[in-house]
Chains A and B, each alone.
Chain A
Amino acid sequence: MAEALMEVRDLVKEFPIHGGVLGRPVGAVHAVDGVSFDVLRGETLGIVGESGCGKTTTARLLLRLLEPTSGSVAFEGRDIATLSRRELKPLRREMQMIFQDPYSSLNPHKTIGSIIAEPFVVHGVERDASARKRHVQELMDLVGLNPEHYNRYPHEFSGGQRQRVGVARAIALKPKLIVADEPVSALDVSIQAQILNLLRSLQRDLDLTLVLIAHDLSVVRHMCDRVAVMYLGKVVEVGDAAELYARPRHPYTGALLSAVPVADPRLARAARRQILTGEVPSPSSPPPGCRFHTRCPKFVAGHCDVDEPLLTDGDPAHPGHLAACHYPLGDDEGAATARPAA
């Protein structure tokens, strides 16, 4: 069993809502509300969910780009939420981020050479300018960019190439962990595939641990070893990817999987789609008990709207596959909504 590189325990992030005569906080958006999971060394962990589930906020909390309201994020045993800035800085070399929008995540006033070199400069590595340039050009080559374009500006590149710059920047200091926040959502399908392949090969070659935030379930299935499904600030299911996709236990996971449009007309028309009704409730006033109960096909009044279910084990044959549900899907129910293997 691989050891945990990162341990998240009871992580909470609330954003206060101000109002009233004196502008006092009158409520809060519970963006992340008590989330716990591990990131195992060397794995690719996927975090999926729809808008408002809190996955992007979680990504930022993992790297302490946001301050948690409570809870802990332990990197190699040390809680990064309690460290001072001075103590945190060397840790930042070990954890990096790739952002979603290749158009706004690169400083338009800097050449891509200096963008990729910036991590070196910030952490005082490779002080010699020519050695640094060489190193940057090696990185550019590694991610599939032409090293001769060292002095070009971001606007001269396409979305896919810019994302490669983002990747190069992230791997510059050989971090242990990379958090990729929707790294391919803004790209065309054919380019997506190039970037995903690049991430996979880099992960193998550089022995990286990858946390992939995405809303596209197919992408996550392709890339990830384990998957955590989030809904309205909570993790509702977590486990091995193949297992979770074949036998989802939480009804929300089942609905998500069943909703993905599949590129096979016969399967598409034959599959019994489980279409969810209603909309995601507001994160500032989440439903009591199980948050999903307002849309759940297995809702039981008096239980699901009163007691909040905790992440628990189900099948002893698959330890580590946890679901937060009082009435999880049976093996047959899950399989009906999931896809048959090709």
Chain B
Amino acid sequence: MAPLLSVENLSVSFDTDDGVVHAVDGVSFQLEAGAVLGVVGESGSGKSVSSLTLLGLTRSARTTVTGRASFDGEDLLAAPEERLRRLRGNDVAMIFQDPLSALHPFYRVGAQLSEAVLAHRDVSKQEARDRAVEMLGLVGIADAKRRLDSYPHELSGGTRQRVMIAMALMNDPKLLIADEPTTALDVTVQAQILELLARLRDELGMAMVIVTHDLGVVASIADEVAVMYAGRIVERASTETIFDAPEHPYTWGLLGSMPRLDALDGADLVPIPGRPPSLIARPGGCHFHPRCPYVREAHKVVDPELVAVEDDPAHAVRCLLPSATRRRVWQELRAGVAPERARTDVIEAEEGER
């Protein structure tokens, strides 16, 4: 079956006063119907811009978009504005990070929900309202009829995010793109929302793209994970593989930076040194090389491609180190060895052997 969403070599750059910002650089991925893709990255990784661009929400005179993206066989990037408008909120829906600022403060929630339907279907106001009540019930909001008359600021954070999800579901979308859906929420509410999203995936068979910086979120709900850095996908694999056998130094760095509830006592976190790069003047060669503990001379010049790993076609890595080497390093890191020692143990040892 052809994938529901297919993105090939997507690149987005913005022409600003300070120079050209290469926000997204050759991103490719596929998503089957009913599957969940997690896109992980920190600020400046290009994860949000990628998803906004799929819906044409970054179009402007100073934006250049190249590559291909097709949804259900239809080309998104070349589609005229009106065609994209018909897809938005209809076949493809999007929810954002902060539900307080993402909902219009002056209009009641019911009106905003109804608008989602009325923008695409020729139904009466009452029918739209009934649908809104139905959706609010689906996302677990009690007393739905009364909630329709609330203003966004009168609701709690969790309820607001549920309203946003309900709004996205009004027209039975095939694909839901969620941009940091739980970041602005309290931990217990996060858990509620993630559980809701999982339930919707199961009940509605909806495909989802979850964009986040939190690997924990991705672990609980995604089938496949794409890790982004400086506008590119640096690693892509099934969720199990990303946590069990990651092969990119940035992914290792992310995993090492996160304090974990089940971690060994007293161990220091292993942060990634340095800072995210400028997207205007990107480092030459591999974009991650200035921060990579395992960098070799060649990496400063040669730009790696995203290449599938030998025994797992679903696992692709953008790194110049050989796969066998990377696996050995990961084994050491996993055992608690510091990156510097892992480098000497594995990489320099290998070079010595040659």
Contacts and interface: CB of A to CB of B under 8 A. Distances in A.
- Consider the complex of A and B and state whether they touch directly, i.e. have CB atoms less than 8 Å apart: yes
Interface of A: 50-51, 158, 160-161, 188-194, 196-197, 200, 215-219, 221-223, 242, 245, 255-269, 273, 275-277, 279-280, 338-342
A266 B239 CA distance: 10
A88 B219 CA distance: 49
Contact of A263 (B253, B258, B273): B258
Contacts of B261: 217-218, 221, 245, 257, 260, 262, 338-339
Which secondary structure characterizes the binding site on chain A? helix
Contact of A259 (B190, B263, B271): B190
Interface of B: 42-43, 156-159, 186-192, 194-195, 213-217, 219-220, 239-240, 243, 253-265, 268-273, 275-276
Nearest to A276: B188
Contacts of A221: 259-261, 263
Given A189-B213, A342-B262, A258 B219 contact: no
Given A189-B258, A280-B186, 4 more contacts: A219-B259, A261-B191, A261-B217, A263-B243
A264 B262 contact: yes
Contacts of B260: 218, 221-222, 262-263, 342
Contacts of B255: 263
Contacts of B195: 273, 275
Q: Give 6 closest A-B pairs by Cβ, nearest first.
A: A261-B216, A193-B271, A222-B259, A259-B191, A193-B257, A50-B186
Contacts of B272: 190, 193
B139 to A, nearest CB: 14
Given A50-B186, A188-B213, A262 B219 contact: yes
Given A189-B254, A242-B265, A268-B216, A261 B188 contact: no
B258 A218 contact: yes
Contacts of A277: 192
Given A190-B254, A193-B257, A268-B220, A342 B264 contact: yes
A280 B156 contact: yes
B42 to A, nearest CB: 4
Given A218-B258, A273-B195, A265 B240 contact: yes
Contact of B275 (A191, A216, A222, A267): A191
A261 B186 contact: no
Contact of A265 (B42, B187, B213, B220): B220
A190 B188 contact: no
A188 to B, nearest CB: 4
5 contacts: A216-B259, A218-B260, A261-B191, A275-B192, A342-B263
B256 to A, nearest CB: 8
B268 A200 contact: yes
Contact of B216 (A190, A223, A262): A262
Given A263-B219, A267-B262, A279 B187 contact: no
A273 B193 CA distance: 13
B42 A217 contact: no
A190 B227 CA distance: 14
Contact of A193 (B189, B192, B269, B275): B269
Given A260-B216, A261-B190, A273-B191, A341 B262 contact: yes
Given A160-B275, A222-B259, A261 B192 contact: no
B257 A189 contact: yes
A339 B263 CA distance: 10
A73 to B, nearest CB: 27
B190 A218 contact: no
Nearest to B213: A189
B287 to A, nearest CB: 15
A338 B195 CA distance: 18
Given A196-B259, A196-B269, A218-B259, A190 B253 contact: yes
B253 A255 contact: no
Contacts of A161: 275
A102 to B, nearest CB: 13
A64 B292 CA distance: 44
B23 to A, nearest CB: 16
A47 to B, nearest CB: 15
Nearest to A196: B269
Given A50-B186, A340-B262, A188 B219 contact: no
B219 A264 contact: yes
A269 B218 CA distance: 11
Contacts of B273: 194
Nearest to B250: A190
Given A265-B239, A279-B156, A192 B219 contact: no
A338 B260 CA distance: 12
Contact of B219 (A197, A257, A268, A275): A268
